[in-house]
């Protein structure tokens, strides 16, 4: 899937709520997302373009109200400075389609995470595929 899709094409592909969050950089209410407390083993991909973003082994319960991961699949996400809401944050987007995923926070004291990072991701921006059982 290409970043080159028009807004009309994205509107046809995504639900209205997905469009609001993924294309217009919205946020779902805390605690409301399908994957907030989900514990399955597998891969989380971009809900807009199917690009693999996170493996379940990097997901942890941060208590923030959104799915939290401590690292992405290398090269899968872009980091962008976000100065909205009167604060400096780092937005994360899908590297393949530019879809808004959420924000990454560093230095919060997560001792069980290798980089002390929390990728706070909207559930609606991702979809889960379980591990293949061979």
pLDDT in tens, 62-109: 999 999 999 999 999 999 998 887 778 899 999 999 999 999 998 898
pLDDT at 3: 60
Whether residue 39 is predicted with pLDDT greater than 50 in this model: the reply is yes
pLDDT at 115: 80
Distance (Å, whole) CA 126 – CA 107: 24
Q: Catalytic: 120?
A: yes
Higher local confidence (pLDDT), 131 or 119:
119
pLDDT at 112: 74
Q: Which CATH number does the domain 7-130 belong to among 2.170.150.20, 3.20.20.70, 3.30.460.80, 3.40.190.10? A: 2.170.150.20
Provide, rounded to the nearest whole percent, the portion of the chain with pLDDT above 90. 77
Scanning the structure block, which residue is given the tokens 């995923």?
A: 101
Smallest CA-to-CA distance from 58 within 78, 48, 44, 47 is with 44
Distance (Å, whole) CA 57 – CA 6: 35
For the segment 13-38, the average pLDDT, to the nearest whole number, is 96
Q: How high does pLDDT run on average in the chain?
A: 92
Whether residue 55 is predicted with pLDDT greater than 80 in this model: the reply is yes
Distance (Å, whole) CA 71 – CA 126: 15
Whether residue 133 is predicted with pLDDT greater than 70 in this model: the reply is no
Q: Which helix (H) or strand (E) holds 106?
A: strand 100-106
Catalytic residue chosen out of the listed positions 46, 49, 94, 120: 120
Q: How confident is the model at residue 134 (pLDDT cuts 50, 70, 90)?
A: low
Distance (Å, whole) CA 52 – CA 49: 9
pLDDT at 2: 47
Buried b (16+ CB within 10 A) or exposed e, 63-89: eeebbbbbbbbeebbeeeeeeeeeeeb
pLDDT at 29: 96
84 φ, ψ (degrees, to nearest 5): -75, 170
- For strands 100-106 and 126-130, give the pairing: unpaired
């Amino acid at each position: 899937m290409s970043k080159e899709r028009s807004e009309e094409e994205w509107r046809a592909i995504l639900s209205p709520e997905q469009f609001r969050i993924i294309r217009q950089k919205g946020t779902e209410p805390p605690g409301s997302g399908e994957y907030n407390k989900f514990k399955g083993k597998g891969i989380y991909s971009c809900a807009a373009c199917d690009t693999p973003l996170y493996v379940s082994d990097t997901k942890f319960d941060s208590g923030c109200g959104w799915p939290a991961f401590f690292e992405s699949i290398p090269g899968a996400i872009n980091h962008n400075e976000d100065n909205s809401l009167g604060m400096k944050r780092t937005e994360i987007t899908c590297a393949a389609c530019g879809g808004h995923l959420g924000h990454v926070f560093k230095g919060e004291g997560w001792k069980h995470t290798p980089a002390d990072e929390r990728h706070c991701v909207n559930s609606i921006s991702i979809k889960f595929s379980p591990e293949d059982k061979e």
